Amino acid sequence: MIEVRNLVKEFDGTMVLKNIDATFQKGVVNIIIGKSGSGKTVMLKCLVGLIQPTSGEILYDGRNLTTMRSGEIRRLRRDIGMLFQGAALFDSLTVLENVMFPLDMFSRKNRRERRKRAEFCLERVDMLQAANLLPSEISGGMKKRAAIARAIVLNPRYLFCDEPNSGLDPKTSQVIDELISDITTDFDITTIVVSHDMNSVINIGDNVIFLNEGIKEWEGSKSQVMDADNEKLNDFVFASDLFRKIKVAEEIISEEEKGG
C-alpha cells in the first residue's frame, strides 16, 4: 500500500500538484487519469522519488520516502518496478540481457539461475521468442512487454507504469493492460498506472483517480466513472465520441428495462 498525504509540487512558483491525498491499495490496479499537462507524470515521478516534492508525505507501507536518505531510497527501489513511457530498454543489450540486468546487478543467484528467472519473466509476457534481439529490432508493443518483464524480474512489491498504451494500437494496448492487471493480482503488488486512455480505465481501473490542473477532482472505480456527477470528469470521459454513444446506449437500455 502506498499513501500520499498533502502532496505539493511547485516549479518556480507555479503549483503543479495541489495538496493531493490518495491511498493506493495492494493487489488492485490504481489508475491516475487526466488531460495532458494535468500533472500525472510529475505525480508519478514524485511517488518514485525521481522528483523531490515541495511538501507532503509519501508512505510505502508506512515508510516515508520524503525523509529517506539516498542509500535508503536505493534499497527501497529494489522493490520497485517501473514501466516507462518509451519502455527505456538499454539499447546496447539484447532483450534477454535487459531482463537479466537487475538480477546481474542485485541478485546473489548464479548465472544459470538468473538466466532461468529472466526467461521465466519473458515467457510470462510472451516474449521468449525475441530474447536475443536488440531493442532496435522489435516493435513498440514488444518493447513494452520486454520492459514489463524487466520491471517484474526482481519480484517488486510496487509497480509503476507511465502511459503504458501511448503509441500502441488498440489490440496491443489491451494486451498490455491485461498483462498489468494479471501481474498485479498474481503477485499481489501495489500497481499505479498513469494514463489518459479511457479504454484502460474501463478495462482494468479498479481504483481511478482523476487529476485536473493538479487537483484530485474525483476518485472511484471503473464502474462509477461513466456515471459520476462531476462536470470536469464528464468533460474528460465524454470527450471521446465513442464513450458518449456508449452512455446514450446505456441510458436507452436502462429505460427499456424500466419500461419492460
Partner 1 sequence: MSIISSLESVGEYALLLKRVLTPPDRFSQFMKEFQKGVYALGVSSIWIVVIISFFIGAVIVLQIALNIDSPMLPSFTVGVVSREIILLEFSSTIMCLILSGKVGSNIASELGSMRITEQIDALEIMGVNSANYLILPKIAAFVVFMPVLVIFSMFTGLFGGYIICMVLGTPSVETYVYGIQAFFNESFVWYSIAKSMLFGFIISSVAAYFGYTASGGALEVGEASTRSVVMNSILILASDLVFTQLAMG
Ligand X SMILES: Nc1ncnc2c1ncn2[C@@H]1O[C@H](COP(=O)(O)OP(=O)(O)O)[C@@H](O)[C@H]1O
Interface with partner 1 (CB under 8 A): 48, 50, 74-78, 80-82, 84-86, 88-91, 101-102, 104-106, 154, 160
The entry of Mg ion, ligand X, partner 1, none that residue 37 binds, CB within 5 to 8 Å by partner kind:
ligand X
User: Which residues of the chain form contacts with ligand X (CB under 6 A)?
Assistant: 11, 16, 34, 36-42
Separation of alpha carbons 256 and 240, rounded Å: 25
- Write down the least CB distance from residue 50 to partner 1, Å: 6
At residue 96, the 3 state secondary structure works out as helix
The 8-class DSSP code of residue 111 comes to H
Give 36 or 136: the residue with its C-beta nearer to ligand X: 36
- Write the DSSP string, 159-228: EEEESTTTT--HHHHHHHHHHHHHHHHHHT-EEEEEE--HHHHHHH-SEEEEEETTEEEEEE-TTTTTT-
- In the shown chain, the binding pattern of residues 41 to 80 toward Mg ion, with x for contact by CB under 5 A and - for none, equals x---------------------------------------
Q: CB of 43: closest distance to partner 1 in angstroms? A: 15
Question: What is the H or E stretch that residue 11 is in?
Answer: strand 2-11
If the CB atoms of residues 19 and 85 are measured against partner 1, the closer one turns out to be 85
How far apart are the C-alpha atoms of 80 and 75, rounded to whole Å? 10
Binding partner at 101 among Mg ion, partner 1, ligand X, none, C-beta below 5 to 8 Å by kind = partner 1
Nearest CB to ligand X, comparing residues 47 and 121: 47
Give me the least distance between CB of 100 and partner 1, in Å please. 11
> Which residue number, 14 or 67, has a Cβ lying nearer to Mg ion?
14
Angle between helices 111-124 and 140-152 (to 10 degrees): 130
User: Smallest distance, Å, CB 108 to partner 1?
Assistant: 11
Contacted entry of partner 1, Mg ion, ligand X, none for residue 60, CB cut-off 5 to 8 Å set by kind: none
- Nearest by Cα to 146 from 204, 96, 91: 96
Is there a contact between 109 and 103 (Cβ–Cβ < 8 Å)?
yes
